[in-house]
Amino acid sequence: MAETTNIPGTGHHGEGETRRDFLVLTASALGAVGAASVVWPFIDSMNPAADTLANSSTEVDLTPVAVGQSITVVWQGKPVFIRHRTEKEIKEAGDVNVAELRDPQTDAQRVKKTEWLIVIGICTHLGCIPLGQKPSDPRGEYDGWFCPCHGSQYDSSGRIRKGPAPLNLALPPYEFKTDTSIKIG
């Protein structure tokens, strides 16, 4: 077989060349599948690891929180305000004219049990942590929270009433495990 030309067969595809093309196609397809399945573990390794995911939910026992008291817990690295609201605060939250609110939401839409308000304690303006958790803190004109950075004021349902913040304090996902304990996240 004195083959002197080296350029792979172009032009007419005989029986042998069709089989070669098929083999090359099969091998290339397999190789591509292999390469793609190798890429996924690398990308997935960047997703939250098991230890990060283990900290993705926080359980809180509410029994020590007296009426009128607020506590702050950490969930996924963020502060969460849990307030055991007084009758006055609950009434004030319900009496508001929702149509006048910058971010209209009724109080009922924001709580599961009316005496417990649970919101993420990050001002929706530029991210500071509003004051109002401690009895000595200023709470603004609406009996809620006051953000010292630029003066945003939230009411007793955590809704924005005054100042530059555009939205109400965000609501974390949570559920009541018992009447006195919740799981956030």
* Stretch binding other proteins (CB under 8 A), from 13-21, 75-83, 89-97, 136-144: 13-21
User: What single-letter DSSP state applies at residue 185?
Assistant: -
Contact 82/118 with Cβ under 8 angstroms? yes
**Cross-strand pairs, 71:** 82
Q: How far apart are CA 100 and CA 150, in angstroms?
A: 21
User: DSSP E strands: which ranges in 11-129?
Assistant: 58-61, 70-75, 78-84, 116-120
Let me know if 12 is a catalytic residue. no
- Position among 1, 36, 66, 99 found at the interface with other proteins (CB under 8 A): 1
Identify which of residues 57 and 106 has a Cβ nearer to other proteins in the complex.
57
Contact 140, 153 (CB under 8 A): yes
Site membership for other proteins, residue 99 (CB under 8 A) = no
Name the residue nearer to other proteins (CB basis): 30 or 67.
Answer: 30
Residues 47-86 that bind other proteins (CB under 8 A): 47, 49-52, 54-55
Beta strands 78-84 and 116-120 are antiparallel
Residues 14-53, one symbol each (x = binds other proteins by CB under 8 A, - = not), give --x--xx--xx-xx--xx-xx------xx-xxxx-xxxx-
Provide, rounded to whole angstroms, the least separation between the CB of residue 48 and other proteins.
8
With CB under 8 A as the contact rule, the residue among 7, 36, 66, 99 that binds other proteins is 7
* Cα–Cα distance for residue pair 81/111, rounded to 1 Å: 13
From 12, 84, 125, 150, active-site residue: 150
Residue with smaller CB distance to other proteins, 50 or 99: 50
Look at the alpha carbons of 168, 170, 175, 179 in this order and tell me if their dihedral is positive or negative: negative
Task: Return d(Cα 118, Cα 181) in angstroms, integer.
Answer: 12
Q: Which residues are catalytic?
A: 150
The residues that touch other proteins, with contacts defined as CB under 8 A, are: 1-4, 6-9, 16, 19-20, 23-24, 26-27, 30-31, 33-34, 41-42, 44-47, 49-52, 54-55
